[in-house]
Structure 1
């Protein structure tokens, strides 16, 4: 496990880790595409920064990895039972779940294997394209990146804990790791709920600065520890990033985290074994590379229409970062 080298206040910088030429090469890639902010952390210190790392961007599906992190405490104390079925928990939806769908377990939702392809909110066009036909697979038998699973899992969390996802995140993670920008105060909090007509299960979006998102990645790099405190239950960070499913050309999938598999993560770049990431649509990444004691943050202003970065663009960025590490 990586020792706890995290900041107790503001992030510290190490200007010597990357050569000036290596930094220039990374910047050239970022300048050539829709990269709005980026951070590279090695050994708990910033070795490369690009753009305004204090600006809060929509996190998109990184929210799912936040929920996975939060659930650890409740799984450990028995508040949430991964073996419980939708029938056990009285989880249903507008069109009604079949007897087979009601046998989907919390574990199946956590690993994107529910077999429930009911309409869901907050789906991207890509998610709509890959969604399987209703009743085409039994629970636990087939992996599909499906927002019904993730939104219903949020419902399970709120129902079983009595906490909102936003409040739980503030109490259990944002506060303890000292996030500098994240706030639930005022009329526009940085985490909230969104409801939908097509499904009774809400989404739970987040906004977060790059420097705060880096703290989340660093928490996972350190096995859920921050300074002398075990923030996540012992072993939960590792359990989240075990390989439970193959995700085709996108590598592997854990508990709502994307994993490197056989060096595959982003096109065109060999990714160190054991790397994993919380990903958000349009070019948002919180990537952890244990082999290099590294956290990589990449952000895009996806709320500006037409602004996004493809997986190929992120591959170019990663290649430049790994080249700098090897130099």
Structure 2
């Protein structure tokens, strides 16, 4: 008897909830219709007004359906359907999205990089897997390969136990024939521009270089030249600094050479524009080019490998330089 009353009460609650939802939809439709009529020319046709209202109803219904589908998809994504029963998808009335989020752990991939002298011999995927499994038989590796550019071994995993294990793992001396070790991260090179340095200052002078490195940790200093003006030296220097913190300090305070102060800026690397290898024009690829083949060395109607002329001429500006020059 108590269960029947409970079910009846629950049914009344659902009915009341649905009625409240329908009331909200009806009120929203009326509001939208009123707003439309306020910004539209008055129309006395009852049929036209009814059609307008019907379109608003359809729009609201469509939005409600899309929202419901989004919620359904969201709930599905929270669970692994291949290992859970249908009953596990039911949610308690008092269970919030925050409670659900606490039950799941978002695992991120981690990349482990290793270097060794014999890794080139393991670019074959089958041979690589065999060598990895021989030393990491319990590890869960998502992806592994030897990078063709730097010849380093990349191990990628999102298993937290494997990540923890690899963080403290030391490969045997004979692993991958001659052993491997964790790759040392390449230090980022920070470039700066030193403005207003007179061309009479010799940047190759030992006294100048020692002063810059000892006082400001600035090294590998080069003077910028203008190639189009026969490599005319400019009052601008490009140099390297080891860390970003020093760069920020130099930009803020500048430097002094003798009694003169000089402004420091971060060196801006301008991206190289896209250039066609067929016509030497810009902003398109040779695969999309509809123009004739043009030699980048002499501007003739032939390819670079077939060029036999001694005269150099840019096909873009007619200057005395190749079309691929930075001039």
Please give the range of the TM-score, normalised by the shorter of the 2 chains. Answer: under 0.3
Name the one with the larger helix percent.
2
State which structure, 1 or 2, has the greater radius of gyration over its C-alpha atoms. Answer: 2
